[in-house]
Structure 1
Amino acid sequence: MSIETDIKQKSVFKSPYERLAVNLMFTNNWLCDQQMQALKPFGITLQQYNVLRILRGQHPNPVKVADITERMLDKMSNASRLVDKLLAKEFVQRTECPNDRRAVDVVITEKGLDLLKKLEKVQGDWQKSLHTLTVEEVNLVSQLLDKLRSSE
C-alpha cells in the first residue's frame, strides 16, 4: 500500500521530499500506535517503557532524571512526571543523590525488571511485523535515516 492510499490523498505531492516527510511522519505514528496497543495491557505508556529500558541498561547503577531526559526517544517528555508514575506502580525507586541534593537518582526495581522480561516476548512478536523487509533492507533504511538526521 502506498502513502497516498493510506492518507487517501487525491493530489500528487509537490516533490519526492515532501512525500518522504509525510511518509516518515505517518509511519512513525503507525509504529507508535502499534507499540501503544502492545503496551496497553501492561498499563504503561511508550514513554514509561522507554524510561524502564534506559534504567535497565544502567542497572544496578542509579540514573539521574536529567540523564534519563537526555536519553529519551521523545525529547518532549517530562521525565520527572514519568518517574513519578513508574514510582507509583513500584517499577522504580527514587532517592536523593548523595553528591548533589538537588538531583534525584532513579533505579529500576525487580518488579520493573520482571515487567520488561514479560514485554520482551510481546516486543519480539511485534517486531516480527517488520520482517516484511529483509535484513539488508532494514540495514539500508536505518543507514538512510541516520544519514538524514546527520544533516542537522
Structure 2
Amino acid sequence: MKIEDEIQTRKFYNERHKATLNIVFTSNWIAGMLEKRASTHKITLQQYNILRILRGQYPAPATNRLLKERMLDRTPDVSRIVDRLVSKGLVSKGRCTKDRRAVDVTITPKGLETLADLDEPMLMMDVLQENITDAECQVLNSLLDKLRGYRN
C-alpha cells in the first residue's frame, strides 16, 4: 500500500517530506513485524538484539557498554534488559576481569537455541523476497547509507 493510503493523507510539503514520513512509517512497520516474531519466544526486539550481539561475541563475554554501543536501538536501559534476559536463563552475568566496575555478560546455551529458532523468521526473507528483488535491495541499501552520510 502507498504511504498516502497508509497514513490517509495526500498533503506533503515536497518529495523529501514524503520520503521522511515513508522511512519512519516503514521502519515502524518492520519493527512491529519483528517484535511480533520475537514475541513467539517471549522476548522483545531489544532483547533479541542483545542476544544477537552476544552470539557474535561468543564465547567471549561483553560488557553493558559494548552492548549499548552495538545495539540497533540505542537504549540507556541495557542493564534492565540484561537482567530480564538473566531471569529467563538466556544470558549469564559475571565479574569483569578487566574492569571491576563492569559486568561480563555471556549468552547461555538456551539463549543460543532461542536465536537459532529465530534466525530465519527475523531475516524477513518471506516479506523481502515477495516484495523486492535483490537488485532493488542493493539500491535501497545504497540509498539508506547515502542518506546517513556515507559516500563511496
Tell me, yes or no, if the aligned pair for 1:51 and 1:68 is still in contact at 8 Å.
yes
Q: What one-letter code is carried by the residue in structure 1 that aligns with 2:60?
A: N
TM (norm. structure 1) is 0.94
Equivalent residues in 2 for 1:1-152, closer than 5 Å: 1-9=1-9, 11-124=10-123, 126-131=124-129, 132-150=131-149
Q: 2-side partners of 1:50 and 1:60: how far apart?
A: 17
Q: 2-side partners of 1:29 and 1:137: how far apart?
A: 20
Task: Count residues with an aligned counterpart.
Answer: 149
Q: What one-letter code is carried by the residue in structure 2 that aligns with 1:4?
A: E
Tell me, yes or no, if the aligned pair for 1:63 and 1:107 is still in contact at 8 Å.
yes
Q: 2-side partners of 1:109 and 1:53: how far apart?
A: 12
Q: 2-side partners of 1:136 and 1:24: how far apart?
A: 19
Tell me, yes or no, if the aligned pair for 1:47 and 1:77 is still in contact at 8 Å.
no
- Could you say what the CA RMSD is over the residues aligned between the two structures, in angstroms? 1.2
Instruction: List per-residue Cα deviations over 1:38-77 (Å, max 9, x = no partner).
Output: 1112100000000000000010001111000000001135
Secondary structure class of the residue paired with 1:14: coil
Runs (4 or more) in structure 1 with deviation over 4 Å come to none
Q: 2-side partners of 1:137 and 1:106: how far apart?
A: 38
In structure 1, the gaps of 5 or more residues are: none
Instruction: List per-residue Cα deviations over 1:100-146 (Å, max 9, x = no partner).
Output: 1101111100000011111123235x321111111010011011001
Secondary structure class of the residue paired with 2:98: coil
Q: 1-side partners of 2:76 and 2:116: how far apart?
A: 24
